[in-house]
Amino acid sequence: MMRAGKLCFVLLLIVSNASGCWNLKEPDQLAFDVASGMDITKDGQFEFSAQIAIPAGIGMAPEGGGGGKKDFIVIGSAGKNIYDAIQNLQTKVSRKIFLGHREVILIGRRMAEQGIGDLLDEFVRNPKSEMRSRMYVVKNADAKDILSLEPIFDPITSTGIVNKQETSGLKKYYFRDFLSDALSQKSAIMLPAVSLTRTPTYLYTGNAIFTKHHGLKLAGFLNTQESFYANWIVNKQAELAITSFVYQGNGNVSLHLESVNRRIIVKMLDQQIQIDVRLTGKGSIVENNSSLNPATPKDLQIIQDSLNQSAHASIQQLIAKAQKQLKTDFFGFDESVRQKYPHQWKTLKSKWNETFPDIDVSVHVNLQCKNMGQANSSIKAIP
Amino acid sequence: MKLSGAQIFWIVATIEVVMGTWLTITPAIQTSQQDAWISMLIAGVTAVALSFFYARLSTLHPNQTLVQFSKTLLGKWLGGAIVFPYFIVWITLPAALLRSFGDFIHLVFLDRTPVSIIMILLIGLSTYLTYSGGITGIGRFAEIAGPFLYLSLILSFVLNAINLRWNHLLPVFSESGWVTIFKGSLMPASYLAESFTLLVIVSFMNNPRNAPSQSMLGVGMVALMVFIATFMTILVFGPDVSSKLRFPFFMMVRSINIMEFIQNIDVFVIFVWIFGVFAKLALYLFIGSYEMAAWLNIKNWRKTIWVGAAGIFILAYLIPNQTFIGIYPIYWMYILVPVCGIGIPLLLWSVTVMKKKLAKSSVE
């Protein structure tokens, strides 16, 4: 009798523990936040917007017109900080807001201008927050505007925004990477930006630059072309395409680079820092409108030289823009100097912003056409 | 109650690895930044050397636990008094562990479960294991759970391979220098020096001659895992972020994301981690109550288990908050390890050697 009683007690204990039911929230009790937006409203308040997926709506596309359910809603709420805003947001939603599936964090224009350096803590400290998200800056609108857009391919906008990173040839850049850039000694960092078009839809518009000396504030934007090169230098680009006019062949040639690499060589001569940026890329020719035939070694060399020159010129222009116009080192050269000359860096660190515009930066580009595609000489209609 | 060599190995490897990967990484990175992995190597070598010393000292007194041989060496009163600090360790360490892990589970997984319930489950199960199985039961448990624990660790390393950013490691050495790197190795070394529990458990071995080699292997394996965990934490988050994370290894497990498909495996890793916590609680409960019985000359050591379990639970329950527990590692590093891990063992060892010499000369 005693034994049976003990056994029952143990079994009861096992069942109640193994199931873990008391701590369970069924998915139908949760509101899944798939994308979060951070904005400053027109009257200067912090606003947090959540794009919340409506599972019942997804997969039930309205057939032949008819009102199906929407796939998501976007709800915004003001607050003193992120968690306060989420608390306020919760009052508007009947289900518990669940942040664990957040894929995207968007930063509105005004928010970026005001600085996001003080709003990073919640993402790490709150165990319910999610660090695997990708980050974007919105160039010409609020984050909320982008989130509310009608998606094209996917049921929810956030999926498309995530995919934008890969389709733009960028390497995966998660919130944790952003965080380690933000806390490192780099004086400026870049985040990809999207902008709202009149259609309305969104497009990838290159990088936003944040400077750190006043708490991660927006310092400017690069256009898509500049961003490809800038990302190449900071090793965030996985692939890219370069199109340039080949003078000798009187036409354009496009090279799709499947693997790009970079090396930043720092030298110090008489207390003068010299930076050598060495970029290499390998790829195949995907379009050739010139009269040159890449099947012949001589013409191939001409094409390669011409592409190298054109990339070289663009990159030098970009570096000049960084040094003279923006006066910000968003290439992470400071980090390279620190890694090579840690002792000298201690004195250089405080005046890097003044030093950077006058630093001697040289660029070497080495592009190789490994494959000429499915044609030899250009396919052209003969006049 | 007997232990095999493999069981000693797995006991050491299981009880030390959880705290090692969980609590030592942040302090090391805070001190020596991106060079923390070098600190971990130094800490590992130190800990392996120390564990050799403990096992050796224990084998000099075959079939006698710490309290027993301390009493035979120094007499009933002095020998009894000198082991008192160990009882502080055997109560406070499991209490701090129980509360920390309870708080951690409460924070991350079971947020609507009171911490006390989580702690009761853990200590209850440990009490059961200790009571019914004694050291043999704990050894067998470690033999089974240990390999799973290590498998989960290795899996979490492998799955993180694509998240590594190698430039986080630079510049190597030149920013910190030897002094800083040694300072950074103190905290992890003090955690790994926890192997002074060997002073008690080696006496239960079938074949004590294996004790030094098996315990060195065990501590070495823990040190290797802690080293890899530190190295990878630096490579995934960079030193600046990891020094601010309280549980960087856990965060690293959380950042596993392979093809947007293998995600959120932290639950499984924690599931296996609990085995380690559980084995550790059970072991300390065993050592505490067995030695308490030896100390107070109580015949049946199982009677003291209840006192130990209740004491550990109440102490854990009374800890006001996590900030308070934050003091414990400092107290551990500056007082408990120097006293219990170095001071007293050295004293006992020198008395042993002297007595042997005296015995020899008196024979001659």
- Whether A8 is covered by a domain: the verdict is no
For residues A44 and A77, state if they share a domain: yes
CA distance A68 to chain B (A): 29
Residues of B in contact with A22 (CB under 8 A): 112-113
- Predicted pLDDT of residue A64: 42
Rounded to an integer, the average pLDDT of A258-272 is: 89
User: Scanning every residue of chain B, which has its alpha carbon at the shortest distance from the alpha carbon of A234?
Assistant: B167
**What confidence score (pLDDT) does residue A63 get?**
47
State the smallest CA–CA distance between residue B293 and chain A in angstroms. Answer: 28
Residues A211, A227, single domain; the answer is no
- 8 Å CB contact of A183 and B170: no
Whether A61 has a pLDDT exceeding 70, the answer reads no
Q: What pLDDT does B261 receive?
A: 75
pLDDT in tens, A86-111: 999 999 988 888 888 888 999 999 99
Q: A339, A343, A345: best mutation site toward chain B, by most B Cβ within 10 Å?
A: A339
Chain B positions in Cβ-Cβ contact with residue A20 (cut-off 8 Å): 110
Calpha distance A37→A326 (Å, rounded): 27
| Domain of A178, in residue numbers | 28-57+69-221
CA distance A337 to chain B (A): 10
Cβ-nearest to A342 among B168, B171, B254: B171
Q: How far is A217 from chain B (nearest CA, A)?
A: 20
Domain map of chain B by residue range?
A: 5-351
Nearest CA in chain B to A342: B175
Q: Which pLDDT band holds residue B175 (cuts at 50, 70, 90)?
A: confident
A interface toward B at CB cutoff 8 Å? Answer: 17, 20, 22-23, 100, 124, 127, 131-132, 174, 176-177, 179-180, 183-184, 335, 338-340, 342-343
Per-residue three-class SS string for A12-42: HHHHHHHHCHHHCCCHHHEEEEEEEEEEECC
The last residue of a domain, from among A206, A221, A236: A221
Judge if A36 and A108 occupy the same domain.
yes
End-to-end CA distance of chain B: 38
Dist CA B192 CA B196 (whole Å): 9
pLDDT value, residue A66: 42
- Is A269 a member of any domain? yes
In a domain, A6, yes or no: no
User: Within a domain: residue A5?
Assistant: no
Q: What is the pLDDT of residue A91?
A: 92
The answer, yes or no, to whether residue A56 has pLDDT greater than 80, is no
What share of chain A in percent tops pLDDT 70? 95
Domain boundary among A186, A206, A221: A221
**Chain B residues with beta carbon closer than 8 angstroms to that of A17:** 121
- Tell which CATH classification among 3.40.30.10, 3.30.360.10, 1.20.1740.10, 3.40.50.300 matches the domain B5-351: 1.20.1740.10
For residue A124, list chain B residues with Cβ-Cβ distance below 8 A: 244-245
Q: Convert the pLDDT of each residue in A314-358 to its tens digit.
A: 999 999 999 999 888 999 898 899 988 888 888 888 888 888 998
- Stretch A217-222: mean pLDDT, rounded? 91
| Whether pLDDT at A67 is above 60 | no
CB distance A258 to A282 below 8 Å: yes
A199 and A245 belong to one structural domain: no
Amino acid A57: pLDDT: 63
* pLDDT at site A278: 94
Interface of B with A in 34-63 (CB under 8 A): none
Residues of A in contact with B112 (CB under 8 A): 22-23
Q: Is the pLDDT of residue A288 over 80?
A: yes
How many domains does the structure of chain A reveal? 2
* A198 and A235, same domain (yes or no): no
Does a structural domain hold residue A3?
Answer: no
Q: What is the pLDDT at residue B218?
A: 93
Beta strands B257-258 and A72-79 are: unpaired
Question: Cβ contacts (< 8 Å) between B171 and chain A: which residues?
Answer: 338-340, 342
Smallest CA-to-CA distance from A34 within A99, A124, A122 is with A99
> A29 versus B91: which is more confidently predicted?
B91
Which chain B residue has the Cα nearest residue A343?
A: B175
Q: What is the pLDDT of residue B322?
A: 86
pLDDT, residue A306, reads 92
Question: For residue A189, with 0-12 CB atoms within 10 Å meaning exposed, 13-18 middle and 19 or more buried, which class applies?
Answer: buried
Residues A254, A369 within the same domain: yes
What is the per-residue pLDDT for B127? 92
Contacts of B174 in chain A (CB under 8 A): 342-343
More confident residue, A20 or A84: A84
Residue A18 has a pLDDT of 67
* A230/A184 same-domain check: no
Q: Is pLDDT at A2 greater than 90 in this prediction?
A: no
Q: How far apart are CA A316 and CA B2, in angstroms?
A: 74
Residue B13 confidence (pLDDT) above 60? yes
Round to the nearest angstrom and report the end-to-end CA distance of chain A. 104
CA distances from B207 to A340, B20, B185, B349 (A): 54, 28, 33, 21
Q: For chain A, say whether B121 makes contact (Cβ under 8 Å).
A: yes
Task: Check if B251 contacts A (Cβ < 8 Å).
Answer: yes
Chain A residues with beta carbon closer than 8 angstroms to that of B107: 127
Residue A313: per-residue pLDDT: 93
* Distance, CA of A13 to CA of B310 (rounded, Å): 20
Phi-psi label, residue A66: left if phi above 0, alpha if psi -120 to 50, beta otherwise:
left
A127–B237: do the CB atoms touch at under 8 Å? Answer: no
In total, the C-beta contacts within 8 angstroms joining chain A to chain B are 52
The rounded mean pLDDT for chain A is 87
Residue A65 has pLDDT above 70, yes or no: no
Query: Does A92 share its domain with A202?
Result: yes
Q: What is d(CA A159, CA A58) in angstroms, rounded to the nearest whole number?
A: 13
pLDDT tens across B100-139, in order? 999 998 888 888 888 888 899 899 989 999 998 889 999 9
What confidence tens digit (pLDDT) does each residue in A149-184 have? 888 888 888 888 888 888 888 888 889 889 989 998
Q: Which of A132, A184, A343 sits opposite B255 (nearest CB)?
A: A132
Please give the pLDDT value at position A272: 87
Residue B256 with chain A: CB contacts under 8 Å? none
**Residue A186 and residue A234 share a domain:** no
B322 touches chain A (CB under 8 A): no
Indicate if A348 and A323 belong to the same structural domain.
Answer: yes
A13, part of any domain: no
CB under 8 Å to A147, separation ≥6 — which residues? A35, A37, A49, A51, A74, A106, A157, A158
Tell me how close the Cα of A171 comes to any Cα of chain B, in angstroms: 11
Q: Which of B121, B236, B238 is the closest to A184 by Cβ?
A: B238
Question: A319 is written with which tokens?
Answer: 């570096």
- pLDDT tens-digit profile of B65-107? 999 889 888 888 888 899 999 999 999 999 999 999 999 988 8
| A222-226, B135-139, B271-275, B309-313: least confidently modelled range | B271-275
Query: Which of the listed residues A157, A187, A221 is the one where a domain comes to its end?
Result: A221
ipTM of predicted assembly, 2 dp: 0.83
Distance from CA of A132 to the nearest CA of B (A): 7
Q: Is residue A113 part of a domain?
A: yes
What Cα–Cα distance (Å) separates residue A9 from each residue in A2, A4, B16, B132, B258? 11, 9, 33, 17, 42
pLDDT (0 to 100) of residue A58: 62
Asked if residue A35 belongs to a domain, the reply is yes
